[in-house]
Amino acid sequence: MNPLFLEFTLVLFGIALLMVEAFFPKLNKKIIFLMSMAALVCVLLLTWLPMLPLSMASASFYATDPLALFFKRFMLVMTMMTLLMSVYFIPNIQRGIPGERPGAGVGEFFILPIFACASLMWLVSSINFIMLFVSLECMTIVLYIAISYLRNDPRCLEAGTKYLILSALTTGFLVYGISWIFGVTATSSIAHLGKAIAMMPAESMPPLLFGVGLVLVAFCFKVAAFPFQFWLPDVYQGAPTPVTAFLSVASKSAGVVVLFRLLEQLYTVPILGGKILTLITLLAIMTLLFGNLAAIAQTNMKRLLAYSSIAHTGYVLMSLASIGAALALPAIGFYLVAYLVMTSLAFIVLIIVTNASGGDDIYHFQGLHTRSPFLAAAMAIACISLAGLPLSAGFVGKFLIFQVTFQQGHYGLLGVGTLSVVIGIYYYLKVIKVMYWQDPTPEALPINISSFTTLLMTLLMITIVILGIYPTPILMSLK
């Protein structure tokens, strides 16, 4: 089938679901959830169908390479995880949205991610600046709604406003940068950018550099690289937790894919390539240091995960500085998959503990081991993997990234990376410490979890361990 249909199908499913929600308001919201999941699963299965080659016109803006396909599946899986998390989040939504009938707004919360997912799938395939811009904006508009979804909660509204203003600002940067690049190279294609720059007269270099700089700023904002990370902790803390997870995994990964496509072209340009490489190396160093050092002092779990997400961006930037190595792309892909699994696990535990304890500060995790050994074990495995300790997916991810960085000879970057791994071990083990070493506060009650939750979390834990021992399938699919 035509690969373009993947996104169309998903959008059609989304619209149909909105209609169902609008015309059958009494429908149980769980059914909407199940239908959304079914839609996502259906599209995920479609990605394995043999794809027709695209027409010349479509192929100039839409890539169907393994990279795009891999990340389309990635986005679909992450959206499913977001929906699963949203199920635990239903009570918060009902509290956050005052409506005349109970359950108002819950249905849409299950449908919105579908649209975001479709635009992200489109985004990872874009090899043309115009396409890129349109799909990026589609995603951002959905996120504006999703981040400020709980309209009774001032922190949530604050997060939405911050995201709206800063995101709109970077959109401006992006458009402006694109127009400069188009102005000097006379092409809007990313895939042919390297060639176009090579044919350009030498005096157009400064304006090109200006345009590229603006575009890089916009994407550093999306992936939250230092110094464009200021929005992130507040937005992560204020946004509904499933949306936070979606932001930190899906939206970041899409930014990484775009950066990869862009840098792949830019590095081939003789003088400019070296400059950009230095820039990315510096960004990686600063992001690693900032994310890790700032995470040490956090007392709120969501903020801790926010800063750690900045740190993880740093590791991905490390490998983006080493694209020349053969395994760079599989390393990035694997790292993001590992990040998806472990972050989802951590966020599910976070939502359940928050619901049971009435807050998401780290001290709400005190003595979790006695309140629910299973939840504590799940969080411990997530933390071990996030810290990059062996026989977990996170370790293999870091291992691959360090290997490609080594191969490209970025020894300074390696040193900073090592330091940040040690700092990371410190603050992730701090969470384990709180759960296991300390006794629960007297008013904290044991937490009961349903057998479905147990199954879901067990699956995620097993995935973490299996990927930590047998990473080959993921690596092969990006070869």
Partner 1 sequence: MQLCLSIIIDPSFFTSFIMSPLLFLILVPLIAILLIMCGAPSRFMSLAATGLNVALGLFLFFHFDTRAGEWQYLQKISIVPQLGLNFTLGADGLSLIMLVLTTLVSFAAIWSTPKIEHSPALFYICLLFISTGLVGAFSSLDTFFLYSFHEIALIPVFIMIGIWGSGDRQKAAWKATLYLGAGSFIVLLGIIALYLAAPINLRSFDFRVMKELSQSNISHPASWIYLLLVVGLGTLVSLFPFHSWAPSTYSSAPAPTAMLHAGVLKKFGLYAFIRLALPIFPSAIAKFSTLLLLLLICNILYIGYVTMAQKRLDFTIAYSSVMHMGTIFLGLIAFNRLSISGAVLLMFGHGLSVAALFCLCAALYRRTNTLDYKDLGGLARLIPKISLLFGFGTMASIGLPGFTNFAGEMLIFFGTTAAVIINKGSLSFIIAMIAALWGVVISAIYMLRAYRNVFFGPLSNIQRWESIKDLTFFEYAPASMLFLFLLITGIFPRLIVNLIHTALP
Smallest distance from partner 1 to CB 287, Å: 19
Q: Which of 385, 395, 413, 478 binds partner 1 (CB under 8 A)?
A: 395
How far separated are the first and last CA of the chain, in Å rounded?
23
The candidate with the shortest Cα–Cα distance to 335, out of 249, 274, 221, 419, is 249
268 lies in the binding site for partner 1 (CB under 8 A): no
Smallest distance from partner 1 to CB 421, Å: 5
176 lies in the binding site for partner 1 (CB under 8 A): no
**Which residue number, 187 or 370, has a Cβ lying nearer to partner 1?**
370
Stretch that binds partner 1, among 120-128, 133-141, 216-224, 399-407 (CB under 8 A): 399-407
Stretch that binds partner 1, among 20-28, 120-128, 213-221, 466-474 (CB under 8 A): 466-474
Smallest distance from partner 1 to CB 414, Å: 7
**Which residue number, 179 or 454, has a Cβ lying nearer to partner 1?**
454
Smallest distance from partner 1 to CB 299, Å: 17
Rg (CA), the chain: 22
66 lies in the binding site for partner 1 (CB under 8 A): no
403 lies in the binding site for partner 1 (CB under 8 A): yes
71 lies in the binding site for partner 1 (CB under 8 A): no
**Which residue number, 144 or 426, has a Cβ lying nearer to partner 1?**
426
Residue 191: Cβ within 10 Å count? 18
CA-CA distance, 253 to 478, in Å (whole number)?
15
425 lies in the binding site for partner 1 (CB under 8 A): yes
Q: Which of 389, 431, 457, 464 binds partner 1 (CB under 8 A)?
A: 389
Smallest distance from partner 1 to CB 162, Å: 35
315 lies in the binding site for partner 1 (CB under 8 A): no
407 lies in the binding site for partner 1 (CB under 8 A): yes
327 lies in the binding site for partner 1 (CB under 8 A): yes
Q: Which of 399, 410, 441, 455 binds partner 1 (CB under 8 A)?
A: 399
Smallest distance from partner 1 to CB 346, Å: 17
CB 115 within 8 A of CB 14: yes
Smallest distance from partner 1 to CB 164, Å: 38
47 lies in the binding site for partner 1 (CB under 8 A): no
Smallest distance from partner 1 to CB 472, Å: 5
38 lies in the binding site for partner 1 (CB under 8 A): no
Write 412-415 long-range contacts (CB < 8 A, 24+).
Answer: 412/281, 412/285, 413/281, 413/284, 413/285, 413/318, 413/321
341 lies in the binding site for partner 1 (CB under 8 A): no
Q: Kindly identify the residues of this chain, within the stretch 433-452, that bind partner 1 according to CB under 8 A.
A: 433, 436-437
Q: Which of 329, 384, 386, 431 binds partner 1 (CB under 8 A)?
A: 384
**Which residue number, 363 or 426, has a Cβ lying nearer to partner 1?**
426
465 lies in the binding site for partner 1 (CB under 8 A): no
- The size of the interface with partner 1 (CB under 8 A), counted in residues, is 35
Q: Which residues bind partner 1 (CB under 8 A)?
A: 327, 369-370, 373, 384, 389-391, 395, 399, 402-403, 406-407, 414, 418, 421-422, 425-426, 429, 432-433, 436-437, 466, 469-473, 475-477, 479
